[in-house]
Amino acid sequence: MGDGEKKRLGELFKALGTMVPLWETAGLAITCPANGAVIAWLAPDSVESLSEKVSRAHAAQQAWSVLHRSQRVSLLEAVSTVLKQHREVLAEVLMLEAGKTAKEALVEVDGSAEVLLKTIRDAALPELNGMVRCKERPPVGVVGLITSFNFPLVVANWLVAPALLARNALVWKPSEKTPLTALAYKAVFAAAMGAHAGLLQIVIGGRDIGEALVAHERVDMVSATGSVAMGKGIKAALAVKKNNAVRPILELGGNNGVIVSEKISQAHLEWSLASLMGSFLGTSGQRCTNTRRLIVHRKIHEAAVAILQKHIEHFIASGAIQSPLSAVSNEYGYGPLIDGDAYDRFERAKKKVMEEGGKILFGKRMLETQYPNAYYVEPALALLPKQTALMHEEIFAPLLFIVPYDDIEQAMAILNAPANAGLVGGIYTQSQSEADRFAAENQAGHGLINSPKGTGTPAFGMGFGGNKASGEGEILNAADPLRAFTREDSFSRIAQNKDVAMDKD
Ligand code: NAD
């Protein structure tokens, strides 16, 4: 199994003008989550090759940092254009190695192209008297970028765009589960950036090479997206590193809770639960922003569970849970779990719920005969009498904990209790005083009141970032998107007349 996918991968990389750097049958094995087949073996980087790449990034950064802003902007616009030209190819790579459905993969590629342009727009101040204006601070130098498996492309682009616009270079270590997307992106990047292609270096490997990247003395800043455990490891490493003057950006795990109040009409209850289905099921529970805990007033608990059951029954019966490599797609981007470890975590959580006196609805394994090495599951509802230690963990699978509460004070305490409840919190209520209390006491980086998308965040324009154990720093910061990737020591405000032709070079 896997020969067809391997061949297809070769064709996709050929379409990007490059080759899959295959390493026979040794090195880092890349598995296709849709069927469990190994589709590539990549040569992992060593500490020596990492150092070479850091040096190349430094050299590229020297040439880049003296370019005028307009030249940097046009090259980044070119990356966006080439991404759009190859959107289907990149989407297929995402489907093969990250298990994305076609629809979700295309949304991710389009979002990646858009975020490059959005960062350029956000970084420019409004024109004044015909003057184009921006703020410039000294660049950091070389940024070590570490990313997670679940959004292999768009999360990187959130950071590549401001880092480059701020005149830095990057050494990117993608997840060991999804490095092919990074290699495909590198081909797009090289085609657009020409002589400046060296600004983005890719290192292949797992946690060990990530640790080496963080510790490397010539890496001037770290921007990492991953689990809370990864964040702790990186903070500990930075604490003893000499070159650690620039604050890292850490985008970490979330454990997003939503309160459903009894101060709600039947129609609004139905709407609320339908609204959060997307953030429960999205990417099969493998998003940092998934709704993971539902805190429901005891009076409406039974009714709420019945409504959710109806939605899940309908979703399963629709036949939407299929291999993403089939033509079937679904509105939630619901496909397989990334691997056996994710499935084991899901199963362990279900077992623990039962041991703790709770009840599991749905959550069966699916398509096992067809794909014994791939992990498709029904979404699961985990009913618990009260919040337990298990609910402080990010299960990172389609499992929704549901607990009852008796008053809003207790609901807020449950919502805020886990250290990793720092990304998104929400409430559905028709009581203004409850909404105000939630806004004042929610400890997560984002608070959503009666959201039409559950805990899916309205990040654009608001910035994106976690509090508590869920992160440090803010990305997609519309007010000053480049700031995190610059040094604070001096600061210029640049204004240039847009009507004077600058054509005498
Ligand atoms: P992970 O923590 O297992 O790995 C993430 C990356 O960090 C990988 O590239 C890995 O090799 C590397 N890594 C792990 N430990 C490291 C260390 N000590 N030093 C250096 N590098 C290290 O996470 P994952 O399973 O790939 O992704 C899922 C996690 O990412 C979830 O917790 C999810 O919530 C989180 N996430 C957060 C955001 C956000 O914006 N807050 C976005 C996407 C994913």
b/e 154-180 (16+ beta carbons within 10 angstroms → b): bbbbbbbbbbbbbbbbbbbbbbbbbbb
| Confidence at residue 422, expressed as pLDDT on a 0 to 100 scale | 97
Ligand 1 centre and the CA of 252: distance in Å?
A: 7
Residue nearest to atom 24 of ligand 1 (CA): 148
Looking only at Cα atoms, what is the longest distance across the chain?
77
Ligand 1 centre and the CA of 471: distance in Å?
A: 11
pLDDT at 387 over 70: yes
Nearest-angstrom CA–CA distance, 328 and 347: 26
pLDDT in tens, 155-192: 999 999 999 999 999 999 999 999 999 999 999 999 99
pLDDT at 479 over 90: no
| Confidence at residue 374, expressed as pLDDT on a 0 to 100 scale | 98
Ligand 1 centre and the CA of 228: distance in Å?
A: 8
Report the nearest atom of ligand 1 relative to the CA of 254: 34
Nearest-angstrom CA–CA distance, 281 and 332: 6
Nearest alpha carbon to residue 225 among 426, 468, 473: 473
| Confidence at residue 135, expressed as pLDDT on a 0 to 100 scale | 86
Ligand 1 centre and the CA of 350: distance in Å?
A: 23
pLDDT at 253 over 70: yes
Report the nearest atom of ligand 1 relative to the CA of 475: 40
Q: List, by residue range, all CATH 3.40.605.10 domains of the chain.
A: 49-248+473-497
Ligand 1 centre and the CA of 104: distance in Å?
A: 20
Sign of torsion over alpha carbons 441, 443, 447, 450: negative
Residue nearest to atom 30 of ligand 1 (CA): 226
| Confidence at residue 475, expressed as pLDDT on a 0 to 100 scale | 78
What strand order describes the sheet that includes 131-136? 124-128, 131-136, 492-497
CB distance 152 to 195 below 8 Å: no
Ligand 1 centre and the CA of 410: distance in Å?
A: 32
**Segment (H or E) for 297:** strand 291-297
Ligand 1 centre and the CA of 19: distance in Å?
A: 27
Residue nearest to atom 19 of ligand 1 (CA): 211
Residue nearest to atom 39 of ligand 1 (CA): 251
pLDDT in tens, 182-199: 999 999 999 999 999 999
pLDDT at 457 over 90: no
Give one DSSP letter per residue of 30-72, joined into a string. EE-TTT--EEEEEPPP-HHHHHHHHHHHHHHHHHHHTS-HHHH
| Confidence at residue 474, expressed as pLDDT on a 0 to 100 scale | 81
Ligand 1 centre and the CA of 414: distance in Å?
A: 26
Ligand 1 centre and the CA of 98: distance in Å?
A: 14
Lowest mean pLDDT of 168-182, 362-376, 452-466, name the range.
Answer: 452-466
Ligand 1 centre and the CA of 310: distance in Å?
A: 34
The two tokens of residue 227 are: 């689990």
Residue nearest to atom 9 of ligand 1 (CA): 175
Residue nearest to atom 28 of ligand 1 (CA): 226
The two tokens of residue 67 are: 């370019």
The two tokens of residue 466 are: 């976690």
Give one DSSP letter per residue of 448-484, joined into a string. EES-TTTT----TTT-B---GGGEES-BS-SSSTTGG
Residue nearest to atom 27 of ligand 1 (CA): 148
CB distance 298 to 404 below 8 Å: yes
Name the residue of 148, 287, 343, 420 whose CB sits within 8 Å of the most ligand 1 atoms, as the mutation to test its pocket: 148
pLDDT in tens, 206-243: 999 999 999 999 999 999 999 999 999 999 999 999 99
Please give all residues whose beta carbon lies within 6 A of any atom in ligand 1, as ranges.
Answer: 146-151, 155, 173, 175-176, 206-207, 210-211, 214, 225-227, 230, 233-234, 251-254, 288, 394, 396, 423, 466, 471
Averaged pLDDT, 468-493: 86
pLDDT in tens, 287-335: 999 999 999 999 999 999 999 999 999 999 999 999 999 877 788 999 9
Homologous superfamily assigned to 256-449: Aldehyde Dehydrogenase; Chain A, domain 2 (3.40.309.10)
pLDDT at 23 over 80: no
Better pLDDT: 480 or 367:
367
Residue nearest to atom 42 of ligand 1 (CA): 288
| Placement of tokens 């640790």 in the chain | 211
Better pLDDT: 408 or 479:
408
Report the nearest atom of ligand 1 relative to the CA of 227: 32
Supply the mean pLDDT for the chain.
95
| Placement of tokens 């493998």 in the chain | 286
Q: List, by residue range, all CATH 3.40.309.10 domains of the chain.
A: 256-449
Homologous superfamily assigned to 49-248+473-497: Aldehyde Dehydrogenase; Chain A, domain 1 (3.40.605.10)
The two tokens of residue 414 are: 């449950």
| Confidence at residue 1, expressed as pLDDT on a 0 to 100 scale | 59
Give one DSSP letter per residue of 326-378, joined into a string. SS---TT----BSSHHHHHHHHHHHHHHHHTT-EEEE--EESTTT-TTSBEE-
Q: Tell me the C-alpha to C-alpha distance, in Å, between residue 15 and each of 20, 88, 140, 158, 221.
A: 11, 11, 35, 25, 34
CB atoms within 10 A of CB 409: 10
